[in-house]
Structure 1
Amino acid sequence: MEQHPMVARAEALVDLGRYDEAKSVLASRLQEDPQDLWALLELARCHLAGKETDQAVEVTGQALTLAPQDYATLHMRARALRQASRMEETGAVLREAIRVDPLRWTAYGTLAEIQPWLSDGDRQEGLRLGLEAVRLAPEEPRAYESLYKAALIANDQEGARQTLVTLRQLDPTNSLAVVMQTDSAANAPGVKAAQAADLYADALGTLPDSDWLRNGLDAATYRLLRGTRWLALLCVAAAGAMLDIFPEEGKMPRELPVSLGQRLWMLVPMAALWGFGALLRYRRLRTGVQLNVRSLIRRGRWARIVLVQAVWAMLCALLISQVPWSERTVPQVLFWAGIVPTLATVLFDRKKRK
């Protein structure tokens, strides 16, 4: 059936995301011809894109009445029912679509994805359907996306990994492949925060609008910032050791006040810790990650808390090491003031991650 020019115009508007304009054009067309199947299907697309699920179900029901054996109508009906979480009906419509045209891949792919939500669903059957979708459309990235989801559902981790590799070869900018491969690499055992941040930054160069990747970059950046607290805690510990603020029983404690030379010398290991542990590490980061460090400090409350804790602990370390104390009482208070709040938050962070 030939597509009416008004429907073609509405289709172009839908592709541009101008759904309200498209619905207005389609409403005019359906007033002229309420049985225009293509107009009904495009109207269903508008409703689905706008999350107007009930309207999409109603419109696809009208279309199905007009063309119960049309593959495109059956598939649009399945999309609407799936969005409405009516999975049993979705499965029945998809099976009918496969019966009508067994050489089209889309019904196989969708049916593979919804197997866990069917009363008679079989995860291995989902994997078989996903493989069939790829066999029918070996150059179609979306078929591999369905196979990947089916492999995950069937707990075939190696199959899922290989599917992503193939999908990335077929479409280097495919959002699913880029996100999943990056996330897997960044969260692999032994991957450091700086490496993870670089991986996410590289992936964002391919998918700059990906919220998942941006959240991953923020998480990796936060891990980098958390490392500054450990540097500050080491400085507090070193300052406490220099003053021997908790002398052992039976041993002569170090004489106070500590000489000026020793106090100034204490600044050397502190500077080395921050120079190699923070500044050099920061300068080795990619420009995008460096920018995100500054951005996260502005946006993230916990990022600012981490920095404040590091600054507070360093202030305590400097007061302990640089003031010529003649007694140990105040340095002991400063030591615990620098250690306890920061260490408590470190443990809280660790518990929250688990």
Structure 2
Amino acid sequence: MTEVNSAVEQARALIDFKRYDQAAVLLSQHLAEDPGDLAAWVEIGYCHLNTEQPEQALHAADEALKLAPENYVVLILRALAMTRGPSGWREVEPVLREAVRVAPDQWKGYAMLADAVARMSMLRYAAAAGITDLRNHDLSPVLREASDLVTEALRLGPEEIYAHEVALRIANWSSNATLADQLERTILRLDPTHTEALAAQTHRAANAPGVKAARAADLYATGLAAAPDSTEMQRGLDQATYRMLRGVRWLALLCVGFAGTGMDLFAVEGKVQRELPLPLGQRLWDLVLFTAIWIVGALLRYRRRRAGVRLNVRSLIRRRWWGRIAVGQAAWAMLCALVIAEVPWTERSLPQVVFWTGLAPTLATIWFDRNKTR
């Protein structure tokens, strides 16, 4: 093994351990002595990319291109450095087209070119049409070339995550929900912890028609167990959890309603109101009824949830004002129900005030904060 190969091999070993700065120092020393080593320029370029130094990576790619103008690996390096630089994807198409030309059997060139063509085609379309929001526009014709390119990338690299990610972006931009769903499932087959695909599939399942808040919370908790850093799924779990807490208020209001009905708080024409105070047996029966409502409606549902959902209930109450408001109002309405049902009242005027005090503010807040569940 020559001295040149030895330096590059040592740098590659450091790169394998993600010690990019040390590898870059070693390669810099080597290139100072032998600036004609193509492999060294490529390796130091990737070191700079991995340490968020795209300008240095671009310089390394340019030096490598002087040695090998039609080298596919160097062209991809230059394209990557350009996309992470100030110009982003705006000027990278010619480089990627050259990469596809010199290596038409390599999937990554097609995938990156499809990515670039899709982005720039939409920008040009938006500029020509004078619009800024493309969500309600049919972009399928605009993205036809990008779709063809990514199809070729998938043919050449059927197991490559990045090719599927580009295809998924194009499908979403084209509003092709069926294809996007298929691609998400394929990505999750290749990588079960893929954050974006997992979040999209979880969101779709949690927001399907007929899915209740508790079930949605379980779905988001399951997704977060596989991708704990997903902010989208954490947001979805928070929303589903808050919907569960809103449901707790309805249980308290149901108890207020039963308490008022049990006392015949409001006169009904043709019906004789019960004599006050209510007998002890009736008051105890109301207490049993309230307990059953809370056990079935809240406690059992809570205990059946995943551990992540139960933990998030406590966390949301600590983190969010609206969570604390929902729980506080449920407690207040429940206190009003107990006061109405358990105190041996001899007249109805004060229990009526307690009834409306427990019912009206909670109902008004439920209407006001309904958008918090969206």
Please say if 1:117 is aligned against 2:120: yes
Residues 345, 208 of structure 1: alpha-carbon distance in 2 compared, 3 angstrom cutoff: same
Please say if 1:267 is aligned against 2:270: no
Tell me how far apart the structure 1 counterparts of residues 77 and 190 of structure 2 sit (CA, whole Å). Answer: 26
Matching residue of 1:161: 181
Q: What secondary structure sits across from 1:294 in the alignment? A: helix
Residues 57, 280 of structure 1: alpha-carbon distance in 2 compared, 3 angstrom cutoff: same
Question: Is the CA contact 1:244–1:253 (under 8 Å) kept in the aligned structure 2?
Answer: yes
Q: What secondary structure sits across from 1:324 in the alignment? A: coil
1:206 maps to which of 219, 226, 231: 226
Tell me how far apart the structure 2 counterparts of residues 113 and 276 of structure 1 sit (CA, whole Å). Answer: 52
Unaligned residue ranges in structure 1 (runs of 5+) = none
With the length of structure 2 as denominator, give the TM-score of the two structures.
0.80
Q: CA deviation at 1:148?
A: 1.6
Question: Is the CA contact 2:239–2:372 (under 8 Å) kept in the aligned structure 1?
Answer: no
Question: Is the CA contact 2:21–2:51 (under 8 Å) kept in the aligned structure 1?
Answer: no
Tell me how far apart the structure 1 counterparts of residues 16 and 196 of structure 2 sit (CA, whole Å). Answer: 21
Written as runs of structure 1 = structure 2, the 5 A alignment for 1:125-136 is: 125-136=145-156
Q: What secondary structure sits across from 1:89 in the alignment? A: coil
Tell me how far apart the structure 2 counterparts of residues 201 and 161 of structure 1 sit (CA, whole Å). Answer: 20
Partner amino acid, structure 2, of 1:117: M
Q: Deviations over 1:42-74 (max 9, x none)?
A: 444444444445554555455445544222222
Q: CA deviation at 1:136?
A: 0.8
Matching residue of 1:94: 96
- 334-343 or 230-239: bigger deviation: 334-343
Matching residue of 2:209: 189
Tell me how far apart the structure 1 counterparts of residues 337 and 79 of structure 2 sit (CA, whole Å). Answer: 65
Q: CA deviation at 1:327?
A: 4.0
Partner amino acid, structure 1, of 2:71: D
Matching residue of 2:136: none
With the length of structure 1 as denominator, give the TM-score of the two structures.
0.84
Q: CA deviation at 1:274?
A: 0.7
Residues 302, 48 of structure 1: alpha-carbon distance in 2 compared, 3 angstrom cutoff: farther
2:107 maps to which of 96, 100, 105: 105
State the percentage of identical aligned residues: 51
Matching residue of 1:73: 74
Partner amino acid, structure 2, of 1:143: A
Q: CA deviation at 1:221?
A: 2.7
Tell me how far apart the structure 1 counterparts of residues 37 and 363 of structure 2 sit (CA, whole Å). Answer: 68
Unaligned residue ranges in structure 2 (runs of 5+) = 126-141
1:236 maps to which of 247, 252, 256: 256
Aligned-residue RMSD, C-alpha: 3.2
Question: Is the CA contact 1:94–1:111 (under 8 Å) kept in the aligned structure 2?
Answer: yes
2:162 maps to which of 120, 142, 162: 142
Q: Deviations over 1:123-144 (max 9, x none)?
A: 1222222211100112223222
Question: Is the CA contact 2:243–2:373 (under 8 Å) kept in the aligned structure 1?
Answer: no
**What number of residue pairs does the alignment pair up?**
353
Q: What secondary structure sits across from 2:278 in the alignment? A: coil
Q: CA deviation at 1:211?
A: 4.1
Partner amino acid, structure 2, of 1:159: L
Question: Is the CA contact 1:145–1:176 (under 8 Å) kept in the aligned structure 2?
Answer: no
Question: Is the CA contact 2:240–2:373 (under 8 Å) kept in the aligned structure 1?
Answer: no
Question: Is the CA contact 1:296–1:303 (under 8 Å) kept in the aligned structure 2?
Answer: yes
Question: Is the CA contact 1:133–1:147 (under 8 Å) kept in the aligned structure 2?
Answer: no
Q: CA deviation at 1:168?
A: 3.1
Q: Deviations over 1:242-264 (max 9, x none)?
A: 33444457976554433333222
Question: Is the CA contact 1:127–1:154 (under 8 Å) kept in the aligned structure 2?
Answer: no
Residues 215, 255 of structure 1: alpha-carbon distance in 2 compared, 3 angstrom cutoff: same
Partner amino acid, structure 1, of 2:278: V
Tell me how far apart the structure 2 counterparts of residues 72 and 255 of structure 1 sit (CA, whole Å). Answer: 91
- 7-16 or 341-350: bigger deviation: 7-16
Partner amino acid, structure 1, of 2:342: Q
Please say if 1:339 is aligned against 2:359: yes
Question: Is the CA contact 2:167–2:183 (under 8 Å) kept in the aligned structure 1?
Answer: yes
Tell me how far apart the structure 2 counterparts of residues 243 and 109 of structure 1 sit (CA, whole Å). Answer: 72
Question: Is the CA contact 2:89–2:119 (under 8 Å) kept in the aligned structure 1?
Answer: no
Question: Is the CA contact 1:103–1:136 (under 8 Å) kept in the aligned structure 2?
Answer: yes
Tell me how far apart the structure 2 counterparts of residues 346 and 22 of structure 1 sit (CA, whole Å). Answer: 60
Written as runs of structure 1 = structure 2, the 5 A alignment for 1:269-288 is: 269-288=289-308
Question: Is the CA contact 2:278–2:344 (under 8 Å) kept in the aligned structure 1?
Answer: yes
Question: Is the CA contact 2:242–2:373 (under 8 Å) kept in the aligned structure 1?
Answer: no
- 70-79 or 311-320: bigger deviation: 70-79
Residues 272, 6 of structure 1: alpha-carbon distance in 2 compared, 3 angstrom cutoff: farther
Matching residue of 2:324: 304
Tell me how far apart the structure 1 counterparts of residues 284 and 231 of structure 2 sit (CA, whole Å). Answer: 48
Question: Is the CA contact 1:124–1:154 (under 8 Å) kept in the aligned structure 2?
Answer: no
Tell me how far apart the structure 2 counterparts of residues 340 and 26 of structure 1 sit (CA, whole Å). Answer: 73
Residues 170, 351 of structure 1: alpha-carbon distance in 2 compared, 3 angstrom cutoff: closer
- 191-200 or 251-260: bigger deviation: 251-260
